[in-house]
Amino acid sequence: MGEVVSREGLIGVCGEARTAGAVVVFTNGCFDILHRGHTDYLERAKSLGDILIVGMNTDRSVRALKGETRPIVPEDDRAHVLASLASVDYVCLFDEDTPYELITAIVPDVLCKGAGYSVETIVGADLVMEHGGRIVALDALEGRSTRSIVDRILEVGQGR
């Protein structure tokens, strides 16, 4: 089982990992309603290195990105569920609108995002590449998204 750690704790973890020669992979997201698309993505991200760190948006940050009705699941619960996945080693919450400051603090060896992003649009890609790291865009599972789950819940709730 992984751990939920502070930014300062994560900096220490990454320092120890580098000393041991481990490859640190980083990804981020809201992970509001965890689903198969998320777990598949995280398993594939983990396969790119030795340690998978997930930067997770705080509730405030999710609201800024998704609107006042989100998140549906509070940050403590989201972080705990993410950390319980076998593929996730560390979860670190970030309150900014993007994970740039967190990426700057840890400078991962591999930065992962979904295939909907290009290297030019992945926050922190420039920094990671500048330090010799690589950027990987992973395809999402077709038809698996938090938005589709929310839409389905609303549909069922309206008796459709």
Sorted by where each starts, the structural domains of the chain and their CATH numbers stand as: 3-157 (3.40.50.620)
Buried b (16+ CB within 10 A) or exposed e, 149-160: bbeeeeeeeeee
Q: Which neighbouring-strand residues pair with 4?
A: 91
Q: Are 59 and 75 in contact (CB under 8 A)?
A: yes
Query: Which tokens sit at 12?
Result: 């220490």
- Note the pLDDT of residue 73: 94
Using a 10 angstrom Cβ sphere, with 0-12 exposed, 13-18 middle and 19 or more buried, the burial of residue 118 is: exposed
Q: Are 141 and 37 in contact (CB under 8 A)?
A: yes
DSSP 1-48: --EE--HHHHHHHHHHHHHTTPPEEEEEE---S--HHHHHHHHHHHTT
pLDDT in tens for each of the 160 residues of the chain?
Answer: 899 999 999 999 999 999 999 999 999 999 988 888 899 999 999 999 999 999 999 999 999 999 998 999 999 999 999 999 999 999 999 999 999 999 999 999 999 998 788 888 999 999 999 999 999 999 876 666 666 666 677 677 776 5
pTM, whole model, 2 decimals? Answer: 0.90
Strand pairing report for 110-114 and 90-94? unpaired
Residue partners of 66: CB distance under 8 A and separation at least 6: 30, 32
